[in-house]
Amino acid sequence: MAMLNLKFILLQCCIFVTVYQPSSCLGDMQSEHTDTGTPQGHDVPTMHSETQPCTNSINGIPGIPGIPGSPGPIGTPGLKGQNGEKGSPGSKGDKGDYGANGQMGQKGVQGKPGPKGVQGDLGQKGSTGQSGPTGPKGQQGPPGQQGQKGDKGQAGEIQHPSRMAFSVVRTSSLGPVSSHTTVIYDKVYSNVGNGYSSSTGKFTCSVSGIYFFMISGMRIHSHSHFMYICLMKNNEKLPCVYVHNSGQRHYGAASNSVIIDLEAGDEVWVRLGYGHALYSDSNEYASFTGYLLHENS
């Protein structure tokens, strides 16, 4: 408000300076008498202040405008209008299309392997039966008379020793089995003397003598299944092969061999123990080999 009053005062001062101009009427009159020549020796009447003023008048200065008044009080608010009528409900929209099927979720995490089972004890080997008593030796008879020397015979044919050998493999896995099972080897590399049967998996001796046999195998890739195979002679258990990897998911292989005396008719074969498994595939990890070393005379 003080700043506004100051502006009004400055404005009035400017108007006053512009309008007010002092009159020079009286001076003009004096100048008139002075310039007019007078006769010498005559007194000139003197102009007194009582002389009448000039007829030219000065307009009065307009007054300063008054200070604007203060704003009036705020009026009371008007009354609240009535509420409008309620609108009618809108029509129901059409049913939207079904959304596309979501993507298939990721495969769940594989569960942890179960605890390792306890291995059962191997059965004890049965005892060998006692040999029967030897019969009494008969008395030696008297020597006979020496016979005459016979004619010289013809030269006989040279006899060659018998040959018996085989080598077979298995090209697929077997087990785990619920009982002792004969391992049948389906691929034959050699079978000299036809001693091995691919239908029964057994070698049948036809020539008595000393034989060499060897087996090899691999454990299946599993936490709980182990490999346990044995060479068998008839119903007698010979050296075995056992692979156990302490519950780790790794493969493991092993082999074993033996030299034994066989008689004609004896059978040699490979047995997979119950509850165990033998691994193989086209790489032929399971094998069975045997051959005659020396024929009995």
Structural domain range at position 182:
165-295
pLDDT at res. 241: 92
Residue at 96: amino acid letter = G
Q: Is residue 51 part of a domain?
A: no
What is the per-residue pLDDT for 43?
A: 45
Q: Contact 163/292 with Cβ under 8 angstroms?
A: yes
- How many domains is the chain partitioned into structurally? 1
The CA distance from 213 to 203, in Å, is 10
User: Alpha carbon of 170 to those of 164, 184, 199, 277, 282: distances in Å?
Assistant: 21, 7, 13, 13, 8
* Residue 64 included in any domain: no
Residue 45 lies in a domain: no
**Phi, psi (deg, nearest 5) at residue 30:** -65, -35
Low-confidence spans in the chain with pLDDT less than 70: 1-59, 123, 126, 129, 131-132, 135, 137-138, 141, 144, 150, 152-161, 221-224, 245-251
Residue 147 falls within a domain, yes or no? no
Q: What is the CATH number of the domain that holds 284?
A: 2.60.120.40
In the chain, at which residue ranges do the beta strands (DSSP E only) sit?
165-170, 181-182, 187-192, 203-204, 209-219, 227-233, 236-243, 252-262, 267-272, 286-295
Backbone angles phi, psi at 290, to 5 degrees: -160, 150
pLDDT at site 229: 94
Using the structure block, give the residue that is written with the tokens 């069975």. 288
Question: Does residue 40 lie in a domain region?
Answer: no
Query: Residue 158 domain-assigned?
Result: no
227 lies in some domain: yes
State the pLDDT at residue 132: 66
Q: What is the pTM of this model?
A: 0.46
- What is the token pair recorded at 246? 């302490």
Closest to 176 in 3D by CA, of 247, 245, 226: 226
50 in a structural domain: no
